[in-house]
Amino acid sequence: MKIILALAILWMSIAVELAWSGSMPQGALILPIACGIMFWMRSVTGILLSATALLIDWIARPGFLPLCPMLLPAIAACLISPSSKPDDYSSRRQSVAKMLTPLHLPFITLMAVSLQLIGQLNLSSMPAVVDIQSAVKTSLPSLLMISLPISAGISMLMRLADELGLRRASQRWI
């Protein structure tokens, strides 16, 4: 059920981007949602589903390199893979890494947006400074303006679902 829901959300987000391709920058919706699904599901299935959706999006609207489906699963695996170190419950203080956990999703979204912009540049030759400047000045703000609030919203939703016990917590590392 969860997989079907994730598939429907990813399919719809690509459809929304295609429908309003004139007004919405490429990846503004699919990137935070794909990252959100990876973090929500915290499993191999989540990583595979999101990366496949990103790859499909790239096939539908190809750029120079599919950097997002190439590298995002690895970054996500770094952040969400379970730690073999046991949690130290003896001290009541939370570790800094644990405190920064809610920021992981906006961070990976930021990485995804950067990868998306780099992947759209023509890297067959050294990109001109003007191209990089125009990508950073025009595309980056519009991408971040949409994707970061969405990712922050998903992050808060995940926290709320954790508090209410709506997320699957059968994994031992959570």
62 binds another protein (CB under 8 A): yes
CA angle 105/163/83 to nearest 5° reads 55
Contact 51, 69 (CB under 8 A): yes
Q: How far is CA 16 from CA 24, 67, 113, 119, 167, in A?
A: 9, 22, 18, 21, 26
Nearest approach in angstroms of CB 115 to another protein is 11
Footprint of another protein on residues 2-41 (CB under 8 A)?
A: 11-12, 14-16, 18-22
Dist. CA 105–CA 94, nearest whole Å: 19
Name the one residue in this structure whose structure tokens are 């059920």: 1
Among 25, 36, 69, 106, binds another protein (CB under 8 A): 69
Span interacting with another protein, options 28-36, 81-89, 148-156, 159-167, rule CB under 8 A: 81-89
Nearest approach in angstroms of CB 40 to another protein is 15
Name the one residue in this structure whose structure tokens are 């920021």: 103
Cβ distance to another protein smaller for residue 138 or 160: 138
Among 29, 31, 33, 76, binds another protein (CB under 8 A): 76
Count of residues interacting with another protein (CB under 8 A)? 44
Closest to 32 (Cα-Cα) out of 83, 68, 82: 68
Span interacting with another protein, options 27-35, 47-55, 88-96, 156-164, rule CB under 8 A: 47-55
CA-based R_g, the chain, Å: 17
Among 7, 24, 71, 152, binds another protein (CB under 8 A): 71
Sequence-distant (6+) residues with CB within 8 A of 161 are 167
SS3 assignment, position 162: helix
Footprint of another protein on residues 123-162 (CB under 8 A)?
A: none
The residue ranges that bind another protein (CB under 8 A) are 11-12, 14-16, 18-22, 43-44, 47-48, 51-52, 55-56, 58-66, 69-71, 73-74, 76-77, 80-84, 120, 122, 171-173
